[in-house]
Amino acid sequence: MEETKELLEKIKEVFPCPEQDVRTYSPLSLAFIGDGIYELVIRTMIVTKANRGNKDLHLATVKYVKAENQAKMVEILKPFLTQEEADVLRRGRNAKPGSVAKNARIAEYHRATGLEALFGYLYLTGQTDRMLELIKRGVEGLEEQ
C-alpha cells in the first residue's frame, strides 16, 4: 500500500525549494496561494457533486469564490478562529493590494483577501485538515444564509 502524503509535501518533493518560515511571508503572498488553494477546494467540491457542463460548474463555483461571499464567510468563521488564525486574517485584511475586484466593494475585497491569506497560511504550514474544516464551516454557513 502506498504512503499517503499531503499535496504540499508532494509538491516540495517534485519541486525542491529552500525551507522558509511562512510567518515571514507577506500577507499578499499568503493570499495569492490561499486564493488558488481555496478555489481548488471549491472546484473539487463542485465537480464531485455532479458531472455538469462548464458553464454550470463555473456559476456554481463563483457563488463561493466571489469577494462578496468570501467577506460573508469571514464573519461566519470569526468565532471559530484561534488567536493565531485571527492575526493572519487581520494582517491579510489590512494589506494594501495593488488592485480591487471589479465586482466588490473595497471593504469586502479586503476581508476576502484576509480570508485567502488565512487559507494560504494554513496550507503552507501543513494544516490542511484545519483549512478544510474552516472552508466546510464557511460553505455551510453561506448555504444557510
Grid cell listed for 130: 484545519
Cα distance between residue 80 and residue 22, in whole Å: 22
Catalytic residue among 21, 35, 56, 87: 35
CA-CA distance, 104 to 106, in Å (whole number)?
Answer: 6
Is 56 catalytic? The answer is: no
Q: According to DSSP H, which parts of the chain are helical?
A: 7-14, 27-49, 54-65, 67-77, 83-94, 106-124, 128-144
Active site residues: 35
